[in-house]
Amino acid sequence: MADPHAPEPLVCLHGLGGSARAWDRVLPGLRARHAVRTVSLRGHVGGELFPVRVRPSVPALVDGVEAALDAAGIGRAHLVGNSLGGWLAFELAARGRALSVVALSPAGGWRPDSEEIHRVWRLLVPAHDLARRTERHLDRAVRLAPARKALLRLGVEHGDRLEPAEAADFLRDNARCRFLRPLLRSAIDYDFTVPEPDVPVRIAWSAHDRLLPAPLYAERFRTLFPDAGRVRLPGVEHVPMYDDPALVVRTILDVTAPDAVPTAPDAVPERAGDPVPAHP
């Protein structure tokens, strides 16, 4: 019999080309209230390979996360996802696996074969190729703060504030994602359409997001999930856990354990018409 006093499970899902360690900075704050599990996605560092004859795709990633939840004995959990992880959280909610959903700059906010998904391809593929070509030299490349800021600009607003080893790990995870191109290719024609979850939902968009700026990618989520709470996270880039972990923790716990947050998070209501960040 389940312990009624045990903390509720919370599952963190990282983005495309990332790894579970993207959550390292927020884990202490989340574990104060939840039994937290990070999941390494199939085809990513720390994750399993795709099964034989299974095409890399969003549904195949969802299947992998569901298998991980089953193996851990988790039926439903608070689902927290960043970028691709946010997309997967909504797909998992449609399968009945969510107690709540917090999506941080979620991917999927495009129509099939649209300019928006092709723009993501044009940004991510060259960055991935560069990381692969320079992987052997990453530790040296990130020694200087200005270099860290430049190399991490698609994910972290203040990459210069990261320790060199942490910055190198961020880039190395991207370089070692063997299925980035196939997964992006599968996303070009995938029509993300799922029912609105019947659990609490918050969509939190990074105010400085260059990869998925809200003016280009948030509107689809307004259509799909009109009742979701929406906030904008100031001062952070696409992977906000690196820029302001305390803000991310408060943004999550405000949904999953509101009694743990004495004041509202420093997020602000999402605004339509915010300018698109300059092309990186």
Query: What are the pLDDT digits (tens) for 65-120?
Result: 999 999 999 999 999 999 999 999 999 999 999 999 999 999 999 999 999 999 99
Band (pLDDT 50/70/90 cuts) for residue 278 is very low
Overall average pLDDT of the 18-36 stretch: 97
The arithmetic mean of pLDDT across residues 247-268, rounded, is 79
CA–CA distance, 250 with 262 (Å, rounded to integer):
10
Amino acid at 48: E
pLDDT value at position 257? 86
Residue ranges and CATH numbers for the domains of the chain are 9-111+192-269 (3.40.50.1820)
Contact criterion met (CB below 8 Å) for 104 and 30: no
pLDDT digits (tens, 9 = 90+) for 161-176: 999 999 999 999 999 9
Q: How far apart are CA 238 and CA 94, in angstroms?
A: 24
DSSP H or E run through 59 = helix 58-71
- Mean pLDDT, the chain, as a whole number? 92
- Would you say 187 and 255 are in contact if contact means Cβ atoms under 8 Å apart? no
Q: Locate tokens 């949904």: which residue?
A: 255
What percent of the chain is predicted at pLDDT more than 70?
Answer: 91
| Tokens of residue 258, six digits | 């509101």
Q: Percent of the chain at pLDDT above 90?
A: 89
